[in-house]
Amino acid sequence: MVRAFCAAFASMVLLLSGGGAQAGTPRDALVIAWNLDALITFDPPQIGEVNGNDIIVGNVCSTLAQYDPKDSSKILPGMAESWSSSPDGLTLTFKLRSDLKFPDGTPATAEDAAWSLQRAVLLGYFSSATLTQWGFNKEEIADQIQAADATTLVLKLTKPYPAPLLLSAAFANNNVAVIMSKAVGTKNAKITDGKSDLGNAFFKTAPVCVGPYHVARWDANDVVILERNENYYGPRPGLKRIIIRHVPESSAQRLLLEKGDIDVARLLSTDDLKALEPNKDIRIEQTLMQQMAYMALNTNDPILGNPKVREAFRYLIDYDGLTNTILPYKGVPRADLVPEGAFAALDRKEGQPFSLDLAKAKQLLTEAGYADGFSKKMILSANDINPAIAQHIATNAAKVGIKLELEQMADANLFTRGRNRDFEVQLVGWGAGYPDADAMVSRHAADPDPRAEAKLVGYPVWRTGWQNLDINAKAEAARLEQDPAKRAAIYKDIQEFMLHNGPMAYIYQNIRPIAVRSSVKGFEIAPFFVDYASASK
Amino acid sequence: MRLAGLKGVVRQAGSVAATLLGLLALTFFIGRMLPNDPVLAIVGDQADQSTYDMVRHQLGLDKPLYVQFFLYIRAMLSGDFGDALFTGHRVADDLMKVFPATVELATFAIIIGVGIGVPLGILAAVYRGSLIDHVARVVGLLGYSSPAFWLGLMGLILFYATLGWVGGPGRLDVAYMDSIDTHTGFMTIDALWEGDMEVFWNAVSHIILPASILGYGSMAYISRMTRSFMLEQMAQEYMVAARAKGLSGWAAIRRHAFRNILVQLVTVIALAYAFLLEGAVLTETVFAWPGFGHYLVAGLLAGDMNAVLACVLIVGIIFIALNLLTDLLYRLMDPRTR
């Protein structure tokens, strides 16, 4: 019996080593390992998380305009070959390319473009803010956004916002400035209580857009496969298929990458990245994202409401020390609210004037009347490097008499606490929606109404209960300033003020590390999009 | 007599239904009390209140809890499990994918567990106190005590990365993805269905390592139980009688002792199998196995009660079905119940 078993086992091993020998990825496909847990929809305006955005924007759905991959603050043409503002600044006209086609070959027109933009506002998902914050609204949208002819899209504005700001904020590399098929959306619309979903339920798994790829398959928590569109207007994508596999574990991603069974690993821990560094077959690319990690200090709290106490918190962060210990592959220390790379951001040095200074912190606390310190609770996500950062700050805080008690929780829970203003100190992150200082200033500095009943939950500054009317006025003035130099000057002014007085102590700007096999060429990665179409082998 | 039998069936069906309903109610209300907000899991931290309220209303979460539960049960009875909020797909569609993945893995695992565990347990009992008994004990203890997560990773490093004997994480090599149609959702069966032996062997090369690691845990349990059942039987007087009759040692063990432990053994194996069918989250995570355990936990973390309740229902049904099955097997194997 034992002998028979051994023989069976040996033959099994032989068979398997034959069967498993097919190593390497297909020549015409890019294989990416990622965590696909958060994906819930591919209907562009409904997408509210990073992974879906990354897969869809620019890859499945091209956009009207796009950021220069080398410098996000510059805007290049996309599906719109040009645009112009009327002399009074109240009309913005896009001239679309005439060779736009959906994956099945049907022409895409300005009519489809107008429908897609209107749809984003009408559906009312989070992305609708991309347009509604510039005066577009559900009631007037049919009049505000119209197709004049097959290639001309006309937008009526409520205020003369400067075109570069508007283009950056609403029409480049986002999930709203896309062209979806009006015919398919109308045909597959689901009507409930007399209200059309504008094809939302249908597009959720199968969006029909103008773009280099289309979604060929999506199995939840398993795999997403994109296939090349042969009649795409732009340069022909280098690879036929993009295969994104759900591999939630960092070590498993690393093994697959080393073995050559995937081309790109997108979710590696610091340890795994370090281990891959000497490998000649693999390159590690780090992209500075426009996302900030910070401590939000609730100013409704009598102690944290004191500006001196808040400034003291900045001196408890050992920016230099973090650079070498916790932040490699993860972030760059930064105390400014506007991330580096955005229009009008302070440069790296101006944006990070603080250093660990316990004496200074103690002095500020004494001036504020808290020489003996106090106790506060800090809530944070249990993910990634958050616990290490929090521990680091709590240790320094203890040295000046501040007892920071740490409470870790799941993300969803952490967000709920923030939105309900149910925290003293919250360690959390925020991604800017577009590479312009306005993106952060309008949500982190200008607070239209700090009262609890205003429920401006999508404004981190509201969550802290902080408001400064002078900053509000400056932020509004900047939005309407036509001269770029003057606009930048106003934002610099706001940033300088916020650095010392704002309700947030910013800690670092996120880095997104990706490990890629050297056989893959191209594959451009920028803060607001990853260009799968540029990849080749 | 026949009427009494019918009554019994009705009573049993009633108690099964009541058990399942209770299970669902308990899961639903506990799940809703957790601080995980399914709306926020969908709209994200940046969303405004109006978006939040709109989605909350769309999901029916603004209705009272008991109404939500009632609506859910009503839809479920008509065969509609609703949408999984955290995947954007129909729950039924998701389950059609994740459940076969787990059943396939669990089946391979239990075959390995039984195939090695039972012989090992018998040998350990027969050669009690010998080297083989000690080895079996140590191997079993290791199986009990090593975390599946660590074992999985070590297995991958050795057998996949270093030796290249088995496939890596996932159910198939990327090159074979999409090369066969889905019939049953079982990769190996679908490959045989299409007659594609290359895909079949590739699927086996991917399943063998996670199945061995899960099977190792079951093997440890099964071999320990087999050993103690056997020892109990071998001490019985009928064994002495059988040998006195002239039966050789192994024949007596096979024909008498082993046959007598079958009933108990089946219960142990059924339980081990049911346990595997619930899905092994950690193993599934390391091996990027798109299975049931991972699905259930992700649903729970997102506060997605549609998905969680459907999963709980399936687990409940598995246990009940396996119980009924073991009852049936008892009748077949134990002459006294005939």
Is A124 within 8 Å of chain B by CB?
yes
Instruction: Please determine, for residue B8, whether its predicted confidence score (pLDDT) is greater than 80.
Output: no
- Using a CB-CB cut-off of 8 Å, the residues of chain A touching B178 are 217, 225
Residue B140 pLDDT grade (very low, low, confident, very high; cuts 50, 70, 90): confident
- Rounded CA-CA distance B121/B226 in Å is 5
CB contact under 8 A, B48 and A19: no
What is the 8-class DSSP label of residue B256? I
Q: Which of A225, A252, A430 sits opposite B288 (nearest CB)?
A: A252
Nearest CA in chain B to A23: B173
Q: Which of B46, B160, B201 sits opposite A126 (nearest CB)?
A: B46
Q: What is the pLDDT, as a whole number, of residue A367? A: 95
Instruction: Please determine, for residue B209, whether its predicted confidence score (pLDDT) is greater than 80.
Output: yes
Nearest-CA distance A24 → chain B (Å): 8
CB contact under 8 A, A16 and B165: yes
Q: What is the pLDDT, as a whole number, of residue B338? A: 60
Query: Quick one: average pLDDT of B16-37?
Result: 84
- Using a CB-CB cut-off of 8 Å, the residues of chain B touching A1 are 119
CB contact under 8 A, A22 and B43: no
Instruction: Please determine, for residue B226, whether its predicted confidence score (pLDDT) is greater than 90.
Output: yes
> Which of A529, A523, A434 lies closest to A54 in space, CA to CA?
A529
Q: Could you tell me if residue A129 is left (phi over 0), alpha (psi between -120 and 50 degrees) or otherwise beta?
A: alpha
CB contact under 8 A, A205 and B178: no
Q: Could you tell me if residue B132 is left (phi over 0), alpha (psi between -120 and 50 degrees) or otherwise beta?
A: alpha
Nearest-CA distance A408 → chain B (Å): 13
Which of A277 and B144 is assigned the larger pLDDT? Answer: A277
Judge contact between B55 and B42, C-beta under 8 A: yes
Instruction: Please determine, for residue B4, whether its predicted confidence score (pLDDT) is greater than 80.
Output: no
In order of A15, A19, A263, B50, B174, the CA distances from A256 in angstroms are: 21, 17, 9, 43, 11
Percent of chain B with pLDDT over 90: 30
Q: What is the pLDDT, as a whole number, of residue A7? A: 47
pTM reported for the whole predicted model:
0.88
Is B185 within 8 Å of chain A by CB?
no
This complex has an ipTM of 0.84
Residue matched to tokens 């009933």: B263
Q: What is the pLDDT, as a whole number, of residue A2? A: 43
Here the tokens at position B57 are 């209303």
The string of pLDDT tens digits covering residues B291-335 is 999 899 888 888 888 888 899 888 888 888 888 888 888 778 777
Residue B194 bridge partners (DSSP): none
- Given the DSSP bridges, would you call strands A213-219 and A223-228 parallel, antiparallel or unpaired? antiparallel
- Using a CB-CB cut-off of 8 Å, the residues of chain A touching B182 are none
CB contact under 8 A, A457 and B119: no
> Which of B234, B223, B37, B207 lies closest to A422 in space, CA to CA?
B37
- Range in A196-205, A234-243, B53-62, B222-231 with the lowest mean pLDDT: B53-62
Residues 37-76 of B with CB under 8 A from A: 37, 40-52, 54-55
Here the tokens at position B132 are 């083989």
Tell me the count of A-B CB pairs closer than 8 A.
Answer: 185
- Using a CB-CB cut-off of 8 Å, the residues of chain B touching A42 are 88
CB contact under 8 A, B46 and A430: yes
Percent of chain B with pLDDT over 70: 98
Give the total residue count for chain B.
338
Residues 442-461 of A with CB under 8 A from B: 455-458
Residue A428 bridge partners (DSSP): A294
- Rounded CA-CA distance B113/B215 in Å is 5
Is B142 within 8 Å of chain A by CB?
no
Residues 65-94 of A with CB under 8 A from B: none
Residue matched to tokens 């981190």: A460
CB contact under 8 A, B205 and A128: no
Judge contact between B210 and B283, C-beta under 8 A: yes
- Using a CB-CB cut-off of 8 Å, the residues of chain A touching B295 are 220-221
Is B161 within 8 Å of chain A by CB?
yes
Judge contact between B39 and B56, C-beta under 8 A: yes
What is the C-alpha R_g of chain A? 25
What is the 8-class DSSP label of residue A72? E
With helix as H, strand as E and coil as C, how does B137-192 read? HHHHHHHHHCCHHHHHHHHHHHHHHHCCCCCCCCCCCHHHCCCCCCCCCCHHHHHH
Here the tokens at position A250 are 């960092």
Judge contact between A269 and A515, C-beta under 8 A: no
Q: What is the pLDDT, as a whole number, of residue A19? A: 41
CB contact under 8 A, B165 and A18: no
pLDDT by residue for chain A (537 residues), tens only, comes to 444 444 444 444 444 444 444 457 888 999 999 998 888 899 999 998 888 999 999 999 999 999 998 888 889 999 999 999 999 999 999 999 999 999 999 999 999 999 999 999 999 888 888 999 999 999 999 999 999 999 999 999 999 999 999 999 999 999 999 999 999 999 999 988 788 899 998 999 999 999 999 999 998 889 999 999 999 999 999 999 999 999 999 999 999 999 999 999 999 999 999 999 999 999 999 999 999 999 999 999 999 999 999 999 999 999 989 999 999 999 999 999 999 999 999 999 999 999 999 999 999 999 999 999 999 999 999 888 999 999 999 999 999 999 999 999 888 789 889 999 999 999 999 999 999 999 999 999 999 999 999 989 989 999 999 999 999 999 999 999 999 999 999 999 999 999 999 999 999 999 999 999 999 998 888 888 899 999 999
> Which of B43, B51, B45 lies closest to B85 in space, CA to CA?
B43
Q: What is the pLDDT, as a whole number, of residue A183? A: 97
How many CB atoms lie under 10 A from the CB of residue A148?
A: 12
CB contact under 8 A, A25 and B97: no
Nearest CA in chain A to B34: A413
CB contact under 8 A, B44 and A126: yes
Query: Quick one: average pLDDT of B182-186?
Result: 87
Nearest CA in chain A to B295: A221
Q: Could you tell me if residue A221 is left (phi over 0), alpha (psi between -120 and 50 degrees) or otherwise beta?
A: left
Is A17 within 8 Å of chain B by CB?
yes
CB contact under 8 A, A456 and B47: no
Residue matched to tokens 């409940």: B316
- Using a CB-CB cut-off of 8 Å, the residues of chain A touching B98 are 221
Q: What is the pLDDT, as a whole number, of residue B5? A: 65
Q: Could you tell me if residue B60 is left (phi over 0), alpha (psi between -120 and 50 degrees) or otherwise beta?
A: left
CB contact under 8 A, A18 and B201: yes
Non-local (6+) Cβ contacts of A48 within 8 A are: A125, A126, A127, B42, B43, B44, B46, B47
Nearest-CA distance A10 → chain B (Å): 12
Q: What is the pLDDT, as a whole number, of residue A9? A: 47
Is B173 within 8 Å of chain A by CB?
yes
Is A220 within 8 Å of chain B by CB?
yes
Nearest CA in chain A to B120: A2
Q: Which of A23, A247, A415 sits opposite B45 (nearest CB)?
A: A415
Non-local (6+) Cβ contacts of B299 within 8 A are: B84, B86, B307, B308, B311
Q: Average per-residue pLDDT in chain B? A: 86
Displacement of CA B285 from its chain's centroid (Å):
15
Here the tokens at position B5 are 């039998």
Amino acid letter for position A218: W
